[in-house]
């Protein structure tokens, strides 16, 4: 989302349609449009705050103890709320000890300003370090890129997070639109065949493949209203094990 507020109307309309279709997880960050994204979320959510799960992120340059506290306060003001459901470290920063960051996170949780602690773009090693830095809480999530086209987390990170009960939040779950529109040679043929079998779109098949996995949620980005409707219809049903296997093999 750009700083240009002329796009606000479309973004608010898209968010509200998503809420109408029971898509109640909204992810944002202080980094997006220099905080303006959080303001747009606040406008869209309005009086429905208590029924919406809002996640936001602290930027990597703000991971020192006091900076985390200040960033959270600023995000709360922009979001017009007394708490966020999930507060995430947007990117790791090797120059700042993770213990300082997590100490601030636990203070915010104790004060009721955040309800869950998460990270984003953390490797298996970094995720473990973040977990070990928490003294009173457990790490709730790690937001990383994951899709049929980007499966590198399956080697180490996904098995680790599954075993540790850390939810994977999959961003770019449609491969920046490639799984919805672009030809993918043989893999695309398999995706289209399975989509036809279920009377679904390729995007819906790709999203369902993701969310069928244990402890994985997907956050497809969309402002187009039709895309929102398509994304919402990816839930409420499940691919057969055989078709999941075909996708696994085709996109390796």
Catalytic residues: 32
Q: How far is CA 64 from CA 132, 200, 224, in A?
A: 17, 46, 38
In angstroms and rounded to an integer, the radius of gyration of the C-alpha atoms of the chain is 18
Phi, psi dihedral angles at 44 (to 5 degrees):
-70, -40
Cβ neighbours for 222, distance < 8 A, ≥ 6 positions apart = 14, 228, 231
Structure tokens at 110: 């104790």
> Using CB atoms within 10 A of its CB, is residue 31 exposed (0-12), middle (13-18) or buried (19+)?
middle
Q: What are the E-state strand segments in 146-209? A: 167-171
Distance between CA atoms of 100 and 31, rounded to whole angstroms? 20
SS3 content of the chain, % helix, strand, coil (to 5): 50, 15, 35
């Amino acid at each position: 989302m750009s700083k240009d507020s002329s796009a606000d109307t479309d973004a608010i309309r898209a968010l509200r349609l998503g809420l109408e279709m029971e898509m109640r997880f909204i992810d944002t960050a202080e980094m997006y449009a220099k905080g303006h994204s959080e303001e747009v979320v606040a406008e869209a959510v309005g009086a429905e705050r208590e029924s919406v799960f809002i996640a936001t992120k602290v930027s990597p340059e703000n991971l020192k103890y006091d900076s985390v506290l200040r960033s959270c306060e600023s995000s709360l003001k922009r979001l017009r709320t007394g708490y966020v459901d999930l507060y995430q470290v947007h990117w790791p920063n090797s120059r700042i000890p993770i213990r300082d960051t997590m100490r601030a996170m636990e203070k915010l949780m104790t004060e009721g300003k955040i309800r869950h602690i998460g990270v984003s773009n953390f490797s298996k090693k970094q995720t473990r370090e973040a977990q070990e830095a928490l003294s009173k809480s457990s790490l709730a999530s790690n937001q990383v890129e994951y899709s049929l086209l980007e499966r590198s987390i399956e080697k180490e990170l996904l098995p680790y997070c599954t075993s540790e009960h850390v939810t994977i939040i999959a961003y770019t779950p449609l491969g920046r639109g490639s799984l919805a529109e672009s030809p993918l040679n043989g893999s695309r043929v398999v995706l289209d065949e399975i989509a036809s079998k279920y009377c679904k779109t390729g995007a819906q098949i790709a999203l369902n493949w993701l969310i069928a996995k244990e402890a994985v949620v997907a956050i497809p980005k969309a402002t187009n209203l039709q895309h929102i409707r398509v994304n919402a219809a990816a839930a409420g049903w499940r691919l057969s094990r055989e078709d999941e296997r075909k996708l696994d093999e085709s996109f390796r």
